[in-house]
Amino acid sequence: MASRAEVCVVACAEAWRGDGEIAASPMGLIPTAGARLARAAFEPDLLLTDGEACYVAGNWALGQPAPGPVEGWIPFRSVFDLVWRGKRHVMMSPAQIDRYGNANISAIGDYARPDRQLLGVRGAPGNTVNHPTSYWVPRHLPRVFVPKVDMVSGVGYDSARAAGRVAAEFLQLRRVVTNLAVLDFGGPDHSMRLVSVHPGVTVDDVVAGTGFELAVDGTVPVTRQPTAAELRLIREVIDPDGVCGGEVAG
Amino acid sequence: MTIGVGGWGSRRKPMCLVRAILRSDLRDLTVVSYGGPDVGLLCAAGKIRRLIYAFVSLDSIPLEPHFQAARQTGAIEVTEYDEGMLQWALYAASCRLPFLPCRAGLGSDVLRVNPQLRTVRSPYEDGTDLVAVPALPLDAALVHLNRADAAGNAQFLGDDLYFDDLFCMAAEQAYVSCERIVPTAELATAGRHTLRVHRWMVTGVVEAPNGAHFTSCAPDYGRDEEFQRTYAAAAKDPGQWARFAATYLSGNEAAYQAAVAAPRAVASA
């Protein structure tokens, strides 16, 4: 029986299925576990970094140094080149996200004098208009899934459309994985749609945690369980200490 | 005065030079940074009028408390860019161009909160509209590297130069602090690719051992995580911060380094 965290790791890994030879850039524990699982289990051509300035082959545990071998050197300047070339799929963690995928990692409240200053927009504006982007939300709550984000850092479909072709041509918001469910932007006008609920979660739980109207098509399937091979990879190689369970309980 | 600070987050920041600014009568600064505790300390000392940045973070501690406080009290003006836009702004300045076009920023609120930003239409068949990132010339750049010679040829020995060369090239005057000043003949022994900051870019060089403390300066030393935790905790409370400043920031650089070394001497005794 897989834990909720393990289901989330697999759901994150699925974000990179079919991506081929591009860089997978996960932010945070469960997305990082997911990216390593994706490469080990079904997407062998992905490039992964050691979290510093190198691409490394192989698979290794969260919190441990990458054993390598090193495949390439990517200082931050090369990361920016990679972003603008589009050969990357990032998974970021937004403080707020709306119905069309606008995401905020910068500041909560009035921009001139925020209630809570966060990181800043970082590379989110450039990431989203240049290459595929997914999101990980460890707590599916209405204060995260908001009608309107306070500072559009990651660009959503409606904002890109309003900004014109150059903003929209490479925008691909692939999926949003949360502690409750998997969502995508397959609803009307690229609005957020419920794809699956994790085992033990109801559609009502997800709707209650979402502060805007969510597209729900017919009967919503249950997020798939890890395969036996995936569970072995998670438990024996990627997360032997179970640290992902500290991010998502159950 | 516009000052660019090299490094990235809480990595290889010219902290000794930042501490020198704290002791100076400089004020009303425009600071350009991929921000870390350099920004935090300058905010806490009230040195910054405007900050130009894409993020401010302590890396292992995601949010910078002094920067948060400065924003949340409206104490500083800000120009917030995408990370790549900031690189382009420095690159345009270093190339002596008025702007460089880019895709990043389109569709985001970076354009809303920076109404001074303009778009530019491609003169070619595509006719597309791009963000015209304006050049960001610096009056001075401050960077910290692992080694340098006395002429200002400087060397990074870690995995990443970050954008230190761009900061230097975008600046009227650039100042390098380094862990050790060595004879020129020693520089190339670590590999020619490590020599990316050249003496023509550099106005002055100073030897400042442990000068990036408490940020990392790989491979000479890693981040002082324990000290950073102390810094971040103190920054959240005015009383604690007053004690932190009295202990670490009331004297010169030698006093700082002695104060930093002191608790360790006790702990290891």
Q: What is the pLDDT of residues B206-224, one digit of tens each?
A: 999 999 999 999 999 999 9
Count other C-beta atoms under 10 Å from residue B225's C-beta. Answer: 15
Q: Contact A120/B74, CB-based, under 8 Å?
A: no
Looking at residue B267, its pLDDT comes to 46
Residue A221 has a pLDDT of: 98
The share of chain B scoring above pLDDT 90, in percent, equals: 97
pLDDT score of B263: 66
Q: What is the mean pLDDT of chain B?
A: 96
Q: Any chain A CB within 8 A of the CB of B61? A: no
Tokens 């794809």 appear where?
A195
Q: Where are the domains of chain A?
A: 4-246
Q: Kindly state the helix (H) or strand (E) to which residue B233 belongs, with its residue range.
A: helix B225-235
Residue B265 predicted with pLDDT over 70: no
What does the pLDDT read at residue B268? 44
The pLDDT value recorded for residue B264 is 58
CATH topology of domain B1-97+135-258: Glutaconate Coenzyme A-transferase (3.40.1080)
Strand spans (E) along B189-252: 204-207
Chain B residues 128-157 with a CB less than 8 Å from chain A = 128-130
SS3 A199: coil
Residues B50 and B72: their CA atoms lie apart, in Å, by 14
Tell me whether residues B128 and A155 touch, CB distance under 8 A: no
State mean pLDDT over A115-133. Answer: 98
A116-117 and A107-108 strand pairing: antiparallel
Average pLDDT over residues B129-142: 98
Predicted ipTM beyond 0.90:
yes
What is the pLDDT, as a whole number, of residue B262?
Answer: 87
What homologous superfamily does CATH list for A4-246?
Glutaconate Coenzyme A-transferase (3.40.1080.10)
- Average pLDDT value for chain A: 97
Interface test with B, best of A29, A82, A166 (most B CBs within 10 A): A166
Q: Quote the CA–CA distance of A40 and A35 in Å, as a whole number.
A: 9
Spatial contact of A248 and A12, defined as CB atoms under 8 Å apart = no
User: Residue B228 in contact with residue B37, Cβ under 8 Å?
Assistant: yes
Sorting pLDDT into bands at 50, 70 and 90, what band is B269? very low
- Per-residue pLDDT of A200-249, as tens digits, reads 999 999 999 999 999 999 999 999 999 999 999 999 999 999 999 999 98
Question: Quick one: what percent of chain A has pLDDT higher than 70?
Answer: 100
Angle CA A121–A180–A247, to nearest 5: 65
CA nearest to A169 within chain B: B103
Q: For residue A198, what are the CA distances in angstroms to A44, A123, A181, A191, A201?
A: 26, 30, 5, 21, 6
Nearest Cα residue in chain A from B59: A119
Q: Prior bond to A67 cis, omega within 30? A: no
Residue B266 has pLDDT above 70, yes or no: no
**Domain boundaries in chain B?**
1-97+135-258
Which residues numbered 83-122 in B keep a CB inside 8 Å of some CB on A?
83-85, 87, 102-110, 112-113
Q: pLDDT > 70: what percent of chain B?
A: 97
Q: What is the pTM of this model?
A: 0.97
